[in-house]
Structure 1
Amino acid sequence: MKKINLAVVGATGMVGRTFLKVLEEKNLPIENFYVFASARSAGSTLTFNGKEYTVLELNENSFKDYQIDIALFSAGGGTSLKYAPIAAESGCIVIDNSSAWRMDPNVPLVVPEVNPEDIRNHQGIIANPNCSTIQAVVALKPLHEYYGIKRIVYTTFQAVSGAGMGGWSDLEEGLKGQAPKKFPHPIANNCLPHIDVFLENGYTKEEMKMVEETRKILHDDTLRITATTVRVPVFNSHSESINVELNKPFEIDELINRLSASEGIIVQDDLANNIYPLAINATGHDEVFVGRIRRDESLEHGINLWVVADNIRKGAASNAVQIAEWIIANMM
């Protein structure tokens, strides 16, 4: 297997540091490894595979000078919009964690368990979906494949780590009685039905991301989808209530078996023993946990799911590294 030159852009942030951790675990065939960040972080050091690396300041020549093959970006939309095309022009494949390229029709939006074949259509940039979308579509893929999906109702319960270091700090300090700095209201002992900015239609940008990204990943613009996204006082791992109206009838046992047999899913649904997915148990794992699987008795072909995953790992870093693994195995 060919060894590659790999870079992490935005290496000092929460997702960037998790990139390093996941890359260590996955043991990709890396020849040369580079970490980039803004001028503010340049010169600091990060440890990867037991070796210290100096953080380099990102510039327009970085990808060409170091002959980077794959770059994992988690440095914000502005950085991605500027530097991803420059990297692609230098022959580097960018896997971008920001929202900058997700809905670009020329950029694949990929969850490897769901639509890995889309990776082949890349033109130098591949988008990592929103964290809440990633775990949802992993659970929805087998339902759409076997029964067809007519309508989805998302209600999310999203951890503060999804808002970065500032969100984490707001909960940590808020529990000590401090006023919030990241969120518009206290998050400690509270729930905020407000993630990202409000749009003219009354939805938040986060809610519309879930609607639009689900359609793109599942290749179905006819899907009827609505969403309510809520920030909750949990440090890590997102939980989601997903109500689905299917096109075909189903037997509940068969549906559960299909979920259990699907890549990346662990079914936890033993109500007699109070076993169902929990955020505290999902943290540190790459799988998507599904439980509370039950018919929606108000619909002819309705099903309810409770879906939980680590938003920093599967919802960001691990999904991007999985894309890199697929590229190395199938395209290099």
Structure 2
Amino acid sequence: MRQYNIAIVGTGAVGSTLLQILEERNFPIGSLKLLATERSAGQKMTYKGEKYTIEATTIDAFDGVDIAFFAGGKASELYAREAVKKGVIVIDNGSFFRLDDDVPLIVPEVNPEAIRNHNGIITNPNCSTIQMCVALKPFYNKSRIKRIIVSTYQAVSGAGQEAMDELVEQTREVLAGESPTVEMFQHQIAFNLIPHIDIFMNNEYTKEEMKMTLETQKIFNDYDMKISATAVRVPILRSHSESVTIETENKITRDEALELLSDEKGIVLQYDPQNNIYPMPYFTSDTDEVYVGRVREDLAFDNGISFFVVADQLRKGAATNAVQIAELLLEEELV
């Protein structure tokens, strides 16, 4: 089997998870480069028992690289286009290119065919968008979705390791009767909910909420689909949850919905309400599937279905989805 020269740009939570998943899935790597900021250069990370030294990201660092995974942040804007000029295929986890017309936005279980239209850059959607779209796909295959109303319950790890550390420290401080230190979020997150992720836009929705709207429309290539999102930060370390209600053009019964979900790749249906079985963050962490439960016919729409979705946003919501895109490139012989 042919092997490929790989670079990972960014060695934080997403970058380190990318490294872990490449190893778990035994991706055919010939050579590996770990790139980050000058501050991280010289540090070491382990892949398959071997130590790799992190290098500073420069344009020349992409020489000889076949596929570069960008873990997000400013590096995408600074280096992605330059890497493409050197013949690199970029798989970007950042938001900079997501809505560009010439850049495919891919969830492999949902729109794999879009990968054939790449011009060197392919993007991961937002983590909350990914898990919702995986859950939406079987319904959309059955009947076009007219309307989506979604509320998210997003773990602090979506804001990085420092946010996770702050939740742990704030929890200790509150339990000790101390005033919590607030730095990463607008308010204390321990024992609290914050209905505010990213900046507010002119329409009073946050940027995070508009990501879910615009990215979902692009992934399904359906710009008439109406979407209203509310994104909430919750005091959970890992795995995002979502409450989703959809309205379809044609009626889908609960039993039909359960059958559709049970047959879909990448979905684990957890539906046994009488025995208190439904998706929850604590057992979905460090997994790659999208968990769906609480499936029911909605009472507000004649053709409505409501359900609950949980997934690990560092894996399926970021790193795993990126590696699946790379695997799809290999399957389609596009590298």
Instruction: Specify the TM-score bucket, using the shorter chain as the normaliser.
Output: over 0.9
State the match for 1:126 in structure 2: 122
Q: CA deviation at 1:50?
A: 0.5
Q: CA deviation at 1:165?
A: 1.4
Which residue identity is paired with 1:8? I
1:237 to 236, 239, 244: 239
2:327 to 309, 325, 328: 325
Alignment partner of 1:72 is 2:51? no
State the match for 1:45 in structure 2: 44
Residue 254 to residue 75, structure 1, CA distance change in 2 (3 Å) = closer
Which sections of structure 2, spanning at least 5 residues, go unmatched? Answer: 174-179
State the match for 2:168 in structure 1: 172
Q: Distance in 2 between matches of 1:270 and 1:146?
A: 23
Which residue identity is paired with 1:258? L
Give the secondary-structure state (helix, strand or coil) at the position aligned to 1:169.
helix
State the match for 1:20 in structure 2: 19
State the match for 1:115 in structure 2: 111
Give the secondary-structure state (helix, strand or coil) at the position aligned to 2:148.
strand
State the match for 1:87 in structure 2: 83
Q: CA deviation at 1:15?
A: 0.5
State the match for 1:159 in structure 2: 155
Which residue identity is paired with 2:4? I
Q: TM-score under structure 2 normalisation?
A: 0.97
Q: CA deviation at 1:329?
A: 2.1
Q: CA deviation at 1:252?
A: 1.7
Q: Distance in 1 between matches of 2:253 and 2:207?
A: 36
State the match for 1:316 in structure 2: 318
Q: Distance in 2 between matches of 1:198 and 1:156?
A: 16
Give the secondary-structure state (helix, strand or coil) at the position aligned to 1:197.
coil
Residue deviations 1:140-193 (CA, integer Å, cap 9, x gap): 011111111010001000000000012112211110223111001000000000
Which residue identity is paired with 2:101? P
Which residue identity is paired with 2:292? V
CA contact (8 A) 1:37 1:75 kept: no
Q: Distance in 2 between matches of 1:251 and 1:291?
A: 15
The two structures, once aligned, show a CA RMSD in angstroms of 0.8
Residue deviations 1:100-150 (CA, integer Å, cap 9, x gap): 100011100000000111111110000100000000000001111111101
Alignment partner of 1:266 is 2:265? no
Q: CA deviation at 1:239?
A: 0.3
Q: Which moved more, 1:158-167 or 1:176-185?
A: 176-185
Q: CA deviation at 1:298?
A: 2.0
Q: Distance in 1 between matches of 2:72 and 2:121?
A: 15
State the match for 1:302 in structure 2: 304
Q: Could you list the runs of 4 or more consecutive aligned residues of structure 1 that deviate by over 6 angstroms after TM superposition? A: none
For 1:197-236, what aligned pairs fall within 5 Å after superposition?
A: 197-236=199-238
CA contact (8 A) 1:36 1:56 kept: yes
For 1:238-253, what aligned pairs fall within 5 Å after superposition?
A: 238-253=240-255
Aligned length: 328
Q: Which moved more, 1:25-34 or 1:250-259?
A: 250-259
Residue deviations 1:71-109 (CA, integer Å, cap 9, x gap): 110140x21011000111111000000101000111000
Q: Distance in 2 between matches of 1:171 and 1:245?
A: 36
State the match for 2:98 in structure 1: 102
